[in-house]
Structure 1
Amino acid sequence: MTAPIVHLASVGTCLPGDPVDNATLAKLVGVDETWAEMFIGNATRHFTVDLPTGEVRHTLADIAATAADRALTQAGLEPYDIDCVVMGTATPDQLMPATVNLVADRLGIDNVPTYQLQSGCAGAVQALDVARTLLLAERCGTVLVIGGDVCAKHLETDFDLGSRTSAELVNYVLFGDGAGAAVLSHEALGQRVVIRQVLNRLVGLGREPGQVVDWFGLGDRHTDRTAVFEDYKAIEEAVPALAQQTFWELMEDLGWGTHELDFLLPPQLSGRMSDRISDGMPAPNARRVNVVRHVGNNGNALPFLQLEELLRQWDGPGRALAVAIESSKWIKSGVALERS
């Protein structure tokens, strides 16, 4: 009996509104343009919120449904062809109903299992892992996988420019909003790329979180707790090492040599840091697929934006490796792809 194979059939993405460049951020929130380029390396990003007015123009469900619809179209499928929907996000529209179910409703998908995973940068890979596991167990034939985040809901737009610390201003330069989706199937549809391996591992035992995104109910809405916290020093120290570990674990598990890798998709924290991390992964023949400079760090959307760019560049047989590291409680994740 032939073992089941999981194919990546298509990828669709959605970036809300027009790109917001560093010059615009400098005028609106007081970010220094030179500093933004020198230390962060992100040139533009997209927001679901209109920064000058604070008006919310898109929800996560809005942009996730658009990305999912594009993925279905690319695969040549209709909503009724989907057997299961899995979504990864750190910023759902509400705690209930789950955003995955709002998206399924907009697409016209019903009477199928749905799963929503609450996670940060590794959430998209976790969603791919769940989908792949279901397909390998032959519980589904075609799965729609979605990842997205709306970070702008945590950015204040009405404040005194002189009241912000440099740590707070980093978030305006670093983060962005977006959504992505992929169709996974037993059948060699669309792109005909095979998912060879998925790694998803918590490595945070006894370690303090590198990122915290809190939420408040009516009972504690006046708390003094900080809503968003990042330990940038810990992230800068830990993520490159964890990325290298993930790289080698996947390569050794598959028996791939470093010279056999055609594409490398490094963790997308910022333009500068992603370049630094990819330099530490010895793949001399691999093209680096780095999109964060132009889309911002939009969490669970980023792996799909990378995959979309990968598929634009990928012509013919080859191998690709994607790595994502989550700093909230430290998760290593990655995906290995092959096209024959």
Structure 2
Amino acid sequence: MGNIRILGTGSYVPPKVLTNFDLQAMGLDTTDEWIVKRTGVSERRIADPDVATSDLAYQASLRALEMAGLTAQDLDLIIVGTITPDTCCPSAANWLQAHLDAPQAASFDVTAACSGFIFGLNVAEQYLKNGVYRTILVVGAEVMSRTLNWKDRSTCILWGDGAGAAVLTAGDAGPEILSTHIHTDGANGRDLLMPGGGSKTTPISHESVDKGLHTLNMIEANASFRVAVRHFIESIREALDFNGLRVEDVSWFIPHQANLRMFQSIAKFLDVPMEQFYVTLNKYGNISSASCAIAFDEAVRDGSIRDGDLVCLPVFGGGLTWGSALVRWASV
């Protein structure tokens, strides 16, 4: 059995752009300067009302399959990381399987908030290592705009919609996933959550909607910021230590696109230049499980990532969840 290889990557964001100036024009008590200073976000992409998570995932998947030189009929397993599936049942992965016309592939969702893509890679890694499947599609996809209270400037300014994907196999050539690492802290999951929609608040009622239980809530944002930075750094260290490597060996850090100030804090702690952080946050906002995957694909396609580069993908999300992947890039 060979090592875990990346055959292709892909991403997709909807065409509609929502700028900070648009938010201000909508009556939100904010300015472009305030949002950029606090978050680093200038604009984000918003899906049309008739577009679901699996639709975005489909477009990203087609791009990943094209790069891999494969068709959907070559897939054995489809994993979608998301907290905004088309429906609670079936899963977004099932809808994606249908869009791709890939009935031979098993499919399921992974729910790990902003860490979803890395959790999906970790699951795929286990299946490939034990030989159960040979070719796996992992997708991070979200329509976060449907989870927001557009009057709450502390949250609605952050998020956007989109999808990123990767096709994996076990082999002896091409970009290699050296390792993946995942962690959770359920006891502190209340700090970043969407409380409605589950068994605690069903059936959905006028009361639960009026209380804002079906929109994303962020509690103690400053504390969450500090916790996120700590876990980002821990995840990077864990991946490097596991592989006997140093921070100095890393060519690119492609983190979950949460907040520019987080990246600056991480860079300062690790004593690495911000130029080594690949950032898409400014143009897409935070797309939860999709953001890391989208940034990774863009870095591959624009030539930023080159043969021999060591790429670290650390993530942190609600739940609480965190983790990382370490990739050594090489031509297929």
Taking the aligned partners of 1:187 and 1:108, their CA distance within structure 2 comes to 26
Give the letter aligned to residue 210 of structure 1: D
Taking the aligned partners of 1:16 and 1:196, their CA distance within structure 2 comes to 32
Deviation, structure 1 residue 304: 0.9
Deviation, structure 1 residue 61: 1.4
2:23 equivalent in structure 1: 25
2:33 matches 1:45: no
Alignment check: 8 A CA contact 2:263 2:277 kept: no
TM-score (norm 1): 0.88
Secondary structure of 1:218's match? Answer: coil
Question: Structure 2 unaligned runs (5+)?
Answer: none
RMSD, aligned α-carbons: 2.0
Deviation, structure 1 residue 250: 1.1
Deviation, structure 1 residue 145: 0.7
Alignment check: 8 A CA contact 1:274 1:290 kept: no
User: How is 1:166-205 mapped onto 2 (pairs within 5 angstroms)?
Assistant: 168-187=152-171, 192-202=174-184, 204=185
Secondary structure of 1:209's match? Answer: helix
Taking the aligned partners of 2:253 and 2:238, their CA distance within structure 1 comes to 14
1:52 equivalent in structure 2: none
Query: C-alpha deviations, 1:101-134, integer Å up to 9, x for none?
Result: 1111111101222121122011111111111111
Deviation, structure 1 residue 67: 0.7
Secondary structure of 2:104's match? Answer: coil
Shift in alpha-carbon separation, 1:36–1:205, aligned structure 2, 3 A? closer
1:109 equivalent in structure 2: 102
Question: Structure 1 unaligned runs (5+)?
Answer: 50-55, 158-163
The range that moved more, 294-303 or 220-229, is 220-229
2:6 equivalent in structure 1: 8
Taking the aligned partners of 1:262 and 1:286, their CA distance within structure 2 comes to 10
1:160 equivalent in structure 2: none
2:218 matches 1:230: yes
Deviation, structure 1 residue 187: 3.7
Deviation, structure 1 residue 264: 1.2
Q: Percent identity?
A: 19
Give the letter aligned to residue 302 of structure 1: S
2:145 equivalent in structure 1: 152
Match of 2:74 among 81, 88, 91: 81
Taking the aligned partners of 1:208 and 1:140, their CA distance within structure 2 comes to 32
2:203 matches 1:218: yes
TM-score (norm 2): 0.90
2:270 matches 1:281: yes
Shift in alpha-carbon separation, 1:242–1:317, aligned structure 2, 3 A? same
